Structure 1
Amino acid sequence: MKKSNFYAFISRMKYINRWGLMRSIKDENVSEHSLDVAVIAHALSIIQKRRLNMDVNPEKTALYAIYHDASEIFTGDLPTPVKYFNTVIKTAYKDVELAASRRLLKLLPEDFYEDYEPVLIPREQEKEIWKTIKAADKISAYIKCIEEEKSGNREFLQAKQTIYHEINSMDREDVKIFMDEFLQGYELTLDEME
């Protein structure tokens, strides 16, 4: 049996730092971020299922979210202002991310491909899962801004406003419910939480 380095590469997500252009009080790596996004994406899916009567699979959404930035093992975390500077760069970077995801997939034994391909490479028929993950990703970024602001770091104030606007413009009922019911807790200290 051929040896595989897939999981060893996945474990290296902890070495890829995010927010490269920002001065952070607390560094955040892709591994930490991926867990946060998975938790939020799972919550959004539960909201969709329980409150909005949608036919969704929260566990599948959480699994996909765990791996949503896995391609950054090879690409690094390109800062958002660069990634979305114009359509040419955005399209080119999407191609780079896809190539990196395919490279990751090829690290697995062939009999694993069927299970991991949809996790690593978005498919059209699962676009709603990926939209939920994108929403969770934005909420996670917003929470990071809250945490930095709570620590006295003003560096994230503009990012916080921009991300909040992006979240609101998604016009998603699940996101509104999450923001209304769960976001306040991130503003509290440990002693203020129940």
Structure 2
Amino acid sequence: MKCYCFGRCHKGAKLRILPAPSGNEKALVKNDNFIIFITNNKFLHLLPFKPDHMKHYALSAKQLPTVLFFIASLFFIAACQQTTHPGQDSDFKKRINPASADGLDRHAHLVYTRHARCRMGCRHITEEEVEEILEYGEVNPKKSDPNDKPCPSFALEGHTHEGQHLRIVFAPCDRDTKVVTCIDLDAEWSCACD
């Protein structure tokens, strides 16, 4: 581990690379001299510069911008690392979870009707994809009926991470939400479900 030590910022200031300090020094600034070092957990620490306790190697002040650029680059790269899961496109992760002002619990426990299971099997729709549409899909008001009895019905449309364009009808009843039917909006399927 290396430590980067900076003296006062004046003409002829030196950058010194030191061995990592040992012990539990506190992050203090004394006489505008301090040490910055990076630990394994990627934290920057400011420590007082005590030249009588450490050996150091002098670098010219012209190298200071290069070292600072390198440190800034490390933080930029760490901040920009990809966090999406494999198989999910970036547009899928950027979608905003619509507010539940529409009266639909987007994280409800799902109960699948026999009809929905049949349509899912025929159209190769997984439970994971149904949950994606529930969470990220948009309500189609023309195909929804919030006054439907015994439970309101909401037709949600959207694209899955595999690219299927689906409409799934959900009916929130009591504590559970029923999956009523599943429709692939881009393909016709020749299977009959009652």
Task: Answer yes or no: same fold by TM over 0.5.
Answer: no
Greater percentage in helix = 1
TM-score (norm 2): 0.26
Q: Which has the higher contact order (CA 8 A, sep 6+)?
A: 1
Larger radius of gyration: 2
Greater percentage in strand = 2
TM-score (norm 1): 0.26
